Amino acid sequence: MLTANVLGEEGTPDESMQRDALGELANIVCGNVLPAIDAHGRYSLGPPAVALGTLPPADPDAVRVARADLQIEGERVSTALWLHAPGTPAGIS
């Protein structure tokens, strides 16, 4: 439903389109949040990654700095922002 609203479509987009649209929303959110965390721009924003279930980040030293749980059409969607050490992939799970 969220992807259909973003794309302005009546029907449900296919799964690939849903992932692309939600990834773009994640990029927009991170692009606005990261400058508030570090105004000097010492960060690297990697592409968002989909994690089914609860998966730890690739970097064991990563720190989860934000989490949001949403209800979309009766389904729970959890998002988390992890900050990683320089040189390791960053993302959203």
pLDDT, tens digit, 9 for 90 and up, residues 39-86: 887 777 767 776 666 555 566 777 777 788 888 778 787 777 777 666
CA pair distance 3, 5, nearest whole angstrom: 5
Of residues 88 and 11, more confidence is placed in 11
Residue 75: exposed, middle, or buried by beta-carbon count in 10 A (0-12, 13-18, 19+)?
Answer: exposed
Confidence bin at 93 (pLDDT 50/70/90): very low
Predicted local confidence at residue 62, as pLDDT: 76
CA pair distance 11, 70, nearest whole angstrom: 21
- The domain spans of the chain are 2-92
